[in-house]
Structure 1
Amino acid sequence: MPPRAEMTKEVILDAAFQMVREQGLDVLTARNIAQRLKCSTQPIYSAYGSMEQLKDDVYSRTVHFAIDSMQQYRNESNASAMNLAIGCLMFARDEKQLFRTLLLSDYGTDYLKRNPDVMNEQMYAAFMQIDDGLASIPERNVQKMFLKLTAYWIGIGTMINTGTLALDIDEATEMLEEMFQALKEKEGLI
Structure 2
Amino acid sequence: MSPRNTQFSRDDIIEAAFQLVREMGWEGFSVVAVAKSIGSSTMPVYSQFSNVRELEDEVCRKAMALMKEHLLVDRTGDRWIDQAVSYVNFAVEERHLFRCLGDGRNLDLQKELGMGLVEFLDQSLADYPLFAGLNDMEFRMIRMARMMFAQRLAHWLNNDIHFLNRSGLETEDFIRRSSRAIYDGFMLQFGKKTTKPGTINHNA
Relative to the length of structure 2, the TM-score reads: 0.79
- For 1:176 and 1:31, how far apart are their aligned partners in 2? 42
The 5 Å alignment of 1:116-127 reads 116-127=111-122
Task: Tell me which protein shows more helix as a share of its residues.
Answer: 1
8 Å CA contact 1:15, 1:36 repeated in 2: yes
Which structure has the larger Rg over C-alpha atoms?
2
- For 1:129 and 1:121, how far apart are their aligned partners in 2? 12
- For 2:59 and 2:142, how far apart are their aligned partners in 1? 30
8 Å CA contact 2:104, 2:110 repeated in 1: no
3-state SS of 2:142 partner: helix
Q: Which runs of 5+ in 2 are unaligned?
A: 196-204
- For 1:158 and 1:80, how far apart are their aligned partners in 2? 21
1:149 and 2:146 correspond: yes
3-state SS of 2:111 partner: coil
Q: Which runs of 4+ in 1 moved over 4 A?
A: none
- For 1:24 and 1:184, how far apart are their aligned partners in 2? 36
In structure 1, give the amino acid aligned to 2:181. Answer: A
Q: 1:159 aligns with which of 150, 156, 161?
A: 156
1:21 and 2:22 correspond: yes
- Which residue is equivalent to 2:104? 106
- TM-aligned CA deviation for residue 59 of structure 1: 0.7
- For 1:46 and 1:116, how far apart are their aligned partners in 2? 28
The 5 Å alignment of 1:23-172 reads 23-76=24-77, 79-103=78-102, 105-107=103-105, 110-111=106-107, 113-114=108-109, 116-130=111-125, 131-163=128-160, 166-168=163-165, 171-172=170-171
Relative to the length of structure 1, the TM-score reads: 0.84
In structure 1, give the amino acid aligned to 2:29. Answer: L
- Alignment length, in residue pairs? 182
Q: Which runs of 5+ in 1 are unaligned?
A: none
CA distances 1:23-81 after superposition (whole Å, capped 9, x unpaired): 112322111101111111111010011111111111111111111112224212xx311
**Superposition CA RMSD, Å:** 2.3
